Amino acid sequence: MKSPLIIANWKMKVSGDEALTLARQAVKATAKYKSAEIVLCPGFTELAGVASAIKGSSLKLGAQDCFWEESGAFTGEISPQALFSYGASYVIIGHSERREHLAETGAMIRKKIFTAFRVGLVPVLCIGESFSQRQEGQKEVALIQELHQALDGLWLTEAQRLVVAYEPVWVIGSGQAVSGDEAEHTHQVIKQTLYDLFPASVVQEQLRIIYGGSVDPENVAQFTIQPTVDGVLVGGASLDATVFTALVAAAVKAGC
Ligand code: 13P
């Protein structure tokens, strides 16, 4: 049984003391679920505080984005190198909210992925189809295209790990997740594409595919029991320690 990877994306919803409190509560409440790998992704200004709140626990730190250069004249951007030195080990890249609101392109996402690897971060590449792409039967085409845009020409060393997060855009924040069966089918398409891009051993040992989009304590097991679902990326249900802990408990119980 694989250990589920559970990534909490707090988005721009938790700040200041609230973030510290939530991190401390999460440390305490999830401590007994040792078989899950849990990553908290607060906003940039909360990284240092959350890093100290989770110090000594098994929880890991992630960021919600990074820039594609390590340093330079890029006003307002965040260096992946700085994230790494703050203690982050993961970075979410290409979230659909950034693709939509900040016009992030496949080319930008690709550069971010390469730079994240260079500094030692594990990228969490988000891909997902829009509602209209799905209605037009273009879901798989859209996902395969996003994977190629981000990953073509990438070689992983043995030590490097990559996470692909499948998040159907139209499901995010809706309270209506897709079914476990649909997630599994889509993950198989993603996995097949990864086999086209990487050697089989890399896909089997170094890549994980997780599902995101309205995951909650009640539905998480229907995803984590699926053979190609390695974990979940959680938005709303990660903002309350009790709800998040119930989600972790259900994911661990169902296994991965
Ligand atoms: P929700 O869990 O709130 O749908 O958000 C999912 C998401 O966007 C995580 O990155």
pLDDT in tens, 160-212: 999 999 999 999 999 999 999 999 999 999 999 999 999 999 999 999 999 99
CA distance 90 to 109: 15
Atom of ligand 1 nearest to the CA of 172: 4
Q: Which helix (H) or strand (E) holds 212?
A: strand 207-212
Beta bridge partners of 10: none
Domain ranges of the chain: 5-253
User: pTM of the full predicted structure?
Assistant: 0.97
Ligand 1 within 6 A of CB of 167: yes
pLDDT above 80 for 17:
yes
What is the identity of the amino acid at 148?
A: H
167 noted as active-site residue: yes
Q: Please check if 236 is assigned to a binding site.
A: yes
- Is the minimum distance from the CB of 235 to ligand 1 under 6 angstroms? yes
How are the residues of the chain apportioned to helix, strand and coil, as percentages rounded to the nearest 5?
45, 15, 35
What average pLDDT does the segment 53-61 reach?
97
Q: Is 56 annotated as a binding residue?
A: no
* Residue 1, pLDDT score: 54
Query: Which pLDDT value is given to residue 255?
Result: 67
What is the chain's mean pLDDT, rounded? Answer: 96
pLDDT over 90, % of the chain: 97
Active site residue 95: yes
| Angle in degrees, CA 58, 60, 65, rounded to 5 | 175
Residue identified by tokens 């200004």 is 45
Instruction: Please compute the mean of the pLDDT values over residues 65-73 and round it to a whole number.
Output: 97
DSSP 87-140: TEEEEEES-HHHHHHS---HHHHHHHHHHHHHHT-EEEEEE---HHHHHTT-HH
pLDDT for 202 = 97
Q: Which fold has domain 5-253?
A: TIM Barrel (3.20.20)
pLDDT category at 256 given cuts 50, 70, 90 is: low
Q: What is the mean pLDDT of residues 136-142?
A: 98
| Residue 248: per-residue pLDDT | 97
pLDDT higher than threshold 70 for residue 128? yes
**How sure is the predictor about 254, in pLDDT bands with cuts at 50, 70 and 90?**
confident
Selected catalytic residue, list 37, 46, 95, 104: 95
